[in-house]
Amino acid sequence: MTTNRLQQIENMLKDEPDDSFLTYALALEYAKAYELNKAIEIIEKLLNKDENYLGAYYQLAKFYEETLQTDKAITTYKRGIVIAQKQNNKKAFSELNQALFLLED
């Protein structure tokens, strides 16, 4: 099932290579397939192209946590918090802050 979804998303990205949502979805599919390093790589590239894609910060930081890259997770949460503030997204701001608090605790 996951392989089929990976292929579908990759095919859609051929038509729309700059689609941030599709890129994010691709990363999540790789994570489901237990390929966290590939998922991390994809989201890092996504955020380099589209730093305002807010949802990616939380997920990338979680992937960093899962791969024991705590410093990168902390930095990513903090970057996400700044973007959430700029976008006045209180829900994302709260979620990122809570995750950061739990990690630093």
CATH architecture of 2-104: Alpha Horseshoe (1.25)
Q: DSSP for 41-73, please give it.
A: HHHHHHHHH-TT-THHHHHHHHHHHHTT-HHHH
Q: For 14-41, how does the pLDDT look when each residue is reduced to its tens digit (9 = 90+)?
A: 999 999 999 999 999 999 999 999 999 9
Q: Are 60 and 79 a contacting pair, CB within 8 Å?
A: no
Residue 1 scores a pLDDT above 50: no
